[in-house]
Structure 1
Amino acid sequence: MSSLSPLEQTALLRRFEPVLRFTHGERFYPMDVERYLQNCSYWVQRPNQPLERIHAQGALSLDSLAHSRLEPFGTIQFLKFIEPLTITELASYQLQQTLTRAGREQAFHAGAGRLARVGYGSRLLDALFSLSLFVRGRVPGDTAAAAAMRYKQLQSEAEQYQYYGRVVEQEGWLVLQYWYFYAFNNWRSGFSGVNDHEADWEMVCLYLYKDDSGSWQPEWSGYASHDFDGDDLRRRWDDPELEKIGEHPVVYVGAGSHASYYQAGEYLTELELPLLSPLSAFWGRVRATWERLLRTEDGSRPNATLFRIPFVDYARGDGQCIGPGQPQPWAEPVLLSPAPAWVRSYRGLWGLWARDPIAGENAPAGPMYDRNGTVRRTWYDPLGWAGLDKQVPPNRAQDRARRRQHMIQQRQDALKISIAEKTRELRDLEIEAEALLEQPHMQALHHERKERIRQLAQEIDGLRAQLSQDGALREALGLYAARLGGGYKVGARSHIHRAHHPASAIGLRLSRIAEVWAAASIGLVLLTFVGIVLFARQYLLIGVVAMLGIVAVIEAVFRSRLGWLLSRLTNALALIATLVLLYQFFWPLLIGLIIVAGTYILWENLRELN
């Protein structure tokens, strides 16, 4: 909740409202939900019952969502935005996009193929993932075209770009949330991404604090990007990576996915299916062990992606721009604080429920809820979502350091008292133990005292170590508090563990040929395998090994890693040869080692006699 009035909330939201830069070829932009709902129908799927339509298209409004529905466990509530195009309508749309100047100008042109950026194993998984769409629930391919046509029509009637603002006060911070609603996510069909789904809610967070003059100042930003959260997704206001126009942060929006990024570029995003997570972790350990044993670590090499599926998120920023000072300005923001009834009451999906078991093709829920109906973390804990729950606002940092220093001093005082008491007890016990030395009948008590002395000495040692550590910590806190008083801040990027940067230019030779090979390699290998089985089954093993060897060499040539491949192959052959020799000559080698060890020990022992 916020103590600010609606006018104050709106003023702050407008003061810092972001500038969104899209990729050329984007079809959908932030819109108002009212027009979307007017084109939706409302459906309910109860367990073991036929699908029921609650509201027909044209009869749905915000008031319709403002009333909670009591339903049994397992019920799915969802909206449906658009019907797929007929074959005639789809052909007409594709022809228009191909032949008209406007359609050609809006066409998206991909860069280096995503499959050329990753290894063969990832491409194989990608092929399996694509095939899984035939058995999984998915949004029909022509639905994206129908949605684009309908959205274009809505914009032609009344062009408007809308965001929904929420202002929350949490633990000394003021959080500005900018929620953007898109009618459709066409990442898969439009940009070869992971998924398509109706409706899309995206969010950008800004974190403000009140300075000594009582004015709100920005300190952090957090851009929602797929399923990322924590320290890595936030940037400090003075971070050069956070581009700004005046006080307005610039957001580069992923084409079709609508994920938010700090820099323009093409981002390699890897999808790891839950089923393959254990295999991915195991492969990572195996690779790390292999490289550690053979000392072949390559720090420039990216992390293993054998069990991850690669996708490219295009956030080039070369398309339409929306925001202050841009050709398309924002409409007046709609406040979500306090949350209106249509946000609180409707926990269902904002688009088609595609019956996708991994949920990628199912529409999302609203800004307040996850797909399962529980409250989003971004809603109930915006600080924790961005890893800011551990950060104090800058105007409170020095006072917090001083108070912590005082607490450490109090703990040191308590430690000194405890050490003195335990030291007196330790000395008393040592006197008792010495007194019992010449009392044979008191042996058991003597052992008890010595054991207690040992334990107490360990306790005192731990307390003294803690006292010493606290002294250093208290001194560091004092120095830090003094520096804070002078305006000091830690590095703007010190909190980042793994920054998500645009993919750099990949080291491929004969780039176009490499892309063609990457796209065709899986199919060629499968067809070659079938050919070996049908026409040369007696050479199946040799044929498969030769085929894989050829593939490995081609991959290495395109990636300029032929030397790396030969090095790994040499190490592998050396290891195999060693194992073969051990197997063939195990007993002679063992006997020889025993003779050498025995001779060495004999020689060393005889030398001591001199």
Structure 2
Amino acid sequence: MTGVDDRAGLLEGVDLRALVRRYEPVLCFTAGEMFFPMPVDTYLAGAALWASHHTSRGAPTLLVDHGELNPERLAETAREHPEAALFLRYAPRGLGHRELREWRRRPDRPKFTGVSRLAAVGLLGRFIDSLLRLSLTLRGRVPGGLTAAVQRQYAAAGPQTDAYHAHVSSDGGYVVIQYWFLYAMNDWRSSFSGVNDHESDWEQLTLYLVPSPEDGFSLAWVALSSHDEVGDELRRRPDDPDLTWVEGTHLVANAGAGSHSGAYLPGDYLVRVQPPALEGALNTLTRVRAVLFPWTRGKVAEGLGIPYVDYRRGDGVRIGPGTSRPWTPILIDSATPWVRDYRGLWGLDTADPFGGERAPAGPRYERSGAIRTSWGDPVGWAGLDKVPPTPARALRAGADRARELAETIAELDGRIADGQDELRRMSAGLELLPPTVTASRRGGDGAAAALTAQEQAVAQLRTRRRAAVNERDQLRAVGGVPPLPPPHAHLRNRVVPDVAAPAGALLRFWAGASLSVLLLLLGFALLLEQGSLLLACTLAVLAVMAVEAVLRRRLLLFLASLAIVVGLGWLTWLLVTNLRIAFGVLAVAAAVAIGVSNLRNLFSRR
């Protein structure tokens, strides 16, 4: 087994094991984490293989029982059942209530202290969060006690070998090293109040190397798989100040507690989840709020969605170079039998319709059986398909772009010339005929419009070609090595820890009780039927929002926002009931705004 998918010859004669050891990362976990990267054969030794029957609604069929599975038999059984929906089970069952209570009381169980995720978001986020938690009763979810059962079985297997599965390939002029990490359980929801739980977890860290005359290869980019980030947002340059290195080549990555997602900076990250059914409505509310209250624009912690905290603190177990727990490297590639042949799930298939509580597929495949983009197109996955890996490729890309534009321009010039000749032939003699005859022969007007559009397109292409030629010439002038942009220039949103220090006890209490208080006030308003129901409900909502503003020390902002809403409501009422007064108010407001603007310009000139 070579561990290589080498399509460009960059890896010929390279010692792959030495290469992956040279750049292997340091993984830092959050204190309280219970599961760490393990070898595939160790995981399979405790697992069983099943075939589900979702279409027929029958019970799953056991294919290989616990204690009888290994990588070779997994691949062989998968080949024997090419059309079956296969999944693995690491723990035979979840623990019962009594067993679960005993497990939680164990003195050696890792302790964890979180933050108030509800205190990090507003009232609407808490309301949506409550709806999602109620919906868990309708979802195909991980059975209760499964995390405890998996942890007990994981611990009973004895001291674990800390392992990664390295996939080395070449793509687009880059040498790509993917470090894949297999965990027995994703316990983000049950242990750390996160989004989901699922048996087993696969995560990755990817490095992009380029040829170097000094020592064979040099590191160009790194990318961590992470929540809510795709394409350019995934990757960073080695000189990025957010990155930490051990011995110059070993990246320090912080794994999320339970979720195992990666982060460059240690800390607590707020993750906002928008269910597909609510995504459109929440995005609309976000845009409306940004227009009415501009000071809230861009505040992630105040955003709409279901709030969860991803704890990537890096204050717990550390694995890798410079630590007491070294890695065991395992090389894999597309020809490795279990990688190639097993397309099923690595854990219990809960048939969760939302997907989040189903076990993941392996490194090469998605749950659908399609090849993962990160495996089949690792350069495009991180948005590097538009970034030349070497100066020579940058020069060649610039020259190719200029040549292609020149060929396109020449082709369009020829079409325009032919079109002009055709227009002249169509127009010949028309001016000598009466209008009643020529009216049906004016089809040349559409052709002329098409020619004008083509000429405009050619003008734009000429501008682009001049830019491409200038870029090529500038690269040649500096020896083909363009100046590096700032390390964060390619990022639209630099993800950093965004959960503030733990909120005060009063705010944490209010975050948990506010929704219940609001519902109680609304319930009493409905039951007592005293006065205007609409007024009572409005006062209840305003009272809860006022308490929120006081506890967050934003009372003035709340009052200003309330004044804006009341003002807009009053104007709307005037427009509906009295157009004359409404337009009068708008005219006065416009006069004041224009006058202030003109006076400001006048005095600024002096």
Number of the residue aligned with 1:602:
none
Please give the alpha-carbon distance, in whole angstroms, between the structure 2 residues aligned to 1:251 and 1:592. 59
Number of the residue aligned with 1:277:
279
Equivalent position amino acid for 1:478 in 2: D
5 Å-filtered alignment, 1:118-157, equals 118-154=121-157, 157=158
5 Å-filtered alignment, 1:424-503, equals 444=438, 456=451, 459-460=454-455, 462-483=457-478, 485-486=480-481, 488-503=483-498
Shift of 1:558: 2.5
Please give the alpha-carbon distance, in whole angstroms, between the structure 1 residues aligned to 2:316 and 2:286. 39
Q: Is residue 34 of structure 2 the alignment partner of residue 32 of structure 1?
A: no
Q: Is residue 247 of structure 2 the alignment partner of residue 238 of structure 1?
A: no
Shift of 1:9: 1.6
Match of 2:382 among 381, 386, 390: 386
Number of the residue aligned with 1:51:
60
Q: Is residue 100 of structure 2 the alignment partner of residue 114 of structure 1?
A: no
CA-atom RMSD in angstroms: 3.4
Say if 1:429 and 1:466 are closer, same or farther in 2 by CA, change over 3 A.
farther
Number of the residue aligned with 1:205:
206
Q: Is residue 552 of structure 2 the alignment partner of residue 559 of structure 1?
A: yes
Please give the alpha-carbon distance, in whole angstroms, between the structure 1 residues aligned to 2:275 and 2:527. 34
Please give the alpha-carbon distance, in whole angstroms, between the structure 2 residues aligned to 1:9 and 1:109. 41
For the residue of structure 1 that corresponds to 2:58, the secondary structure is coil
5 Å-filtered alignment, 1:162-311, equals 162-212=163-213, 215-226=216-227, 228-245=229-246, 246-288=248-290, 290=292, 296=294, 298-299=296-297, 301-302=299-300, 305-306=303-304, 308-311=305-308
For the residue of structure 1 that corresponds to 2:59, the secondary structure is coil
Shift of 1:442: 11
> Would you say the 8 A contact 2:177–2:208 is kept in 1?
yes
Number of the residue aligned with 1:601:
none
Say if 1:436 and 1:228 are closer, same or farther in 2 by CA, change over 3 A.
closer
Range moving further from structure 2, 536-545 or 199-208: 536-545
> Would you say the 8 A contact 1:206–1:221 is kept in 2?
yes
Say if 1:454 and 1:283 are closer, same or farther in 2 by CA, change over 3 A.
closer
> Would you say the 8 A contact 1:208–1:219 is kept in 2?
yes
Please give the alpha-carbon distance, in whole angstroms, between the structure 2 residues aligned to 1:6 and 1:59. 38
Shift of 1:437: 6.1
For the residue of structure 1 that corresponds to 2:347, the secondary structure is coil
Shift of 1:576: 2.1
> Would you say the 8 A contact 1:426–1:453 is kept in 2?
no
Q: Is residue 13 of structure 2 the alignment partner of residue 10 of structure 1?
A: no
Number of the residue aligned with 1:21:
28
Structure 1: 5+ residue runs without aligned partners? 595-610
Equivalent position amino acid for 2:75 in 1: A
> Would you say the 8 A contact 1:398–1:484 is kept in 2?
no
Rg (Cα) greater in structure: 1
Structure 2: 5+ residue runs without aligned partners? 588-606
Please give the alpha-carbon distance, in whole angstroms, between the structure 1 residues aligned to 2:154 and 2:581. 80
Please give the alpha-carbon distance, in whole angstroms, between the structure 2 residues aligned to 1:464 and 1:55. 67
Number of the residue aligned with 1:327:
324
Please give the alpha-carbon distance, in whole angstroms, between the structure 1 residues aligned to 2:13 and 2:466. 49
> Would you say the 8 A contact 2:226–2:262 is kept in 1?
yes
For the residue of structure 1 that corresponds to 2:177, the secondary structure is strand
Shift of 1:299: 4.4
Match of 1:359 among 347, 351, 355: 355
Number of the residue aligned with 2:161:
160
Say if 1:557 and 1:42 are closer, same or farther in 2 by CA, change over 3 A.
same
Number of the residue aligned with 2:69:
60
Equivalent position amino acid for 2:361 in 1: A
> Would you say the 8 A contact 2:430–2:438 is kept in 1?
no
Equivalent position amino acid for 2:438 in 1: A
> Would you say the 8 A contact 2:47–2:88 is kept in 1?
no
Please give the alpha-carbon distance, in whole angstroms, between the structure 2 residues aligned to 1:459 and 1:202. 49
Number of the residue aligned with 1:605:
none
Shift of 1:321: 0.6
For the residue of structure 2 that corresponds to 1:20, the secondary structure is strand
The TM-score, its normalising length taken from structure 1, stands at 0.84
For the residue of structure 2 that corresponds to 1:239, the secondary structure is coil
1:223-262, Cα deviation, whole Å (9 max, x unpaired): 0113532110111122222221110111100011000111
Shift of 1:54: 1.8
> Would you say the 8 A contact 1:368–1:379 is kept in 2?
yes
Say if 1:425 and 1:244 are closer, same or farther in 2 by CA, change over 3 A.
same
| Identical-residue share of aligned pairs (%) | 35
Say if 1:258 and 1:589 are closer, same or farther in 2 by CA, change over 3 A.
closer
Please give the alpha-carbon distance, in whole angstroms, between the structure 2 residues aligned to 1:536 and 1:592. 36
Equivalent position amino acid for 2:52 in 1: Q
Aligned residues: 574
The TM-score, its normalising length taken from structure 2, stands at 0.85
Please give the alpha-carbon distance, in whole angstroms, between the structure 1 residues aligned to 2:574 and 2:23. 71
Say if 1:300 and 1:454 are closer, same or farther in 2 by CA, change over 3 A.
closer
Match of 2:574 among 553, 563, 581: 581
Equivalent position amino acid for 1:118 in 2: V
Say if 1:328 and 1:412 are closer, same or farther in 2 by CA, change over 3 A.
same
Please give the alpha-carbon distance, in whole angstroms, between the structure 1 residues aligned to 2:216 and 2:388. 17
Number of the residue aligned with 1:522:
515
